Amino acid sequence: MKYSAKAGQQYDDTGHSGFRAGEDSLKYSAEIGDDERRGEKPQRSPRAVKEEIAGLLGPLREEGLKEQTERNIESYFTVADAFEADGLLVQAVDYLEDLAHKLGELVDARAGRKKWDHGLIETEADILHFRDCHNLHVVDEKYMTGAQPTEKGYRWLRSKGVTAVINLRLHSEHDRELVESLEMKHFHIAWPDEQPPTVSQVEEMLRAVEETPGRVFQHCLRGIGRDMTMAGCYVIANHGESASEFIRKGCQEAPRWESDQRQDDGTGEPAQFKLLREFEEGWR
């Protein structure tokens, strides 16, 4: 059996839940899933991640969770179910693992310990609805990446010290207007998904982070290909990590990163990986 966020919510062995995914989640599944590869197997099953989440939710519920927090938690299960029902198991696991990471941080925060030096989950109010700010990765005290936030997500990021946003999407309606209305600076450094940035775009990102007082949040649509490529350049430049090591870690975090990329015409290597290796050579 499988378990959802709700106590006692069970799933049968066919993988179908006792509730239907909401219309919003199904639309989102179609929006970002139409170019994905159905049937790919994730490194962990949705069931395994749900069991991990159930273990985290037990002590949190004993101490008490607000109704809004429960609804926000349930939203992750709803969209994961939409993906799983459509055969998009990797995507389903992505959302569940994102939730598990956030709940783990909340467990640590309530216990008075902090596993991550720059973690953002300090109270249950930081467990937002999945659409507001998901797939969030805090690289260091200055720089973080993630998927496209909503207005509520941007307000939350602002409350966490973010003063600038780097938008990597070609088309992102009202992003600049929204960011600037919240008194954050907006940088638009855009190129098509599945392809690498230019070196000048990488340098523009590095300057933006360096020159910005406060924290910087960077996003593409899903927080995977373009986001991870720029993040790789950032850690090569600022933390001395090798391209190979970053690629290894990135593929563990997002297994479909490699398969989602366009192949380089000359070498056949994934184009974003090639850019990271070339950037490392040039930076050294």
- pLDDT tens by residue, 235-278: 999 999 999 999 999 888 877 788 788 888 888 899 999 999 99
Q: Which amino acid is at 232?
A: G
175 contact partners, CB below 8 Å, separation of at least 6: 148, 165, 167, 169, 186, 188
Please report which confidence band the pLDDT of residue 102 belongs to, taking 50, 70 and 90 as the band edges: very high
Domain ranges of the chain: 22-131, 132-283
Class of domain 132-283: alpha beta
Cα→Cα distances 178→110, 168, 185, 234, Å: 33, 15, 10, 26
Can you give the pLDDT at residue 40? 74
**Contact predicate 17/11, CB 8 Å:** yes
φ and ψ at 79, to 5 degrees?
-70, -35
Can you give the pLDDT at residue 263? 87
Measured over the CA atoms of residue 36, residue 127, residue 131 and residue 179, the dihedral's sign is negative
Can you give the pLDDT at residue 34? 42
Can you give the pLDDT at residue 3? 39
Question: Considering the chain, what percentage of its residues have pLDDT values greater than 70?
Answer: 86
Chain centroid to CA 206: 20
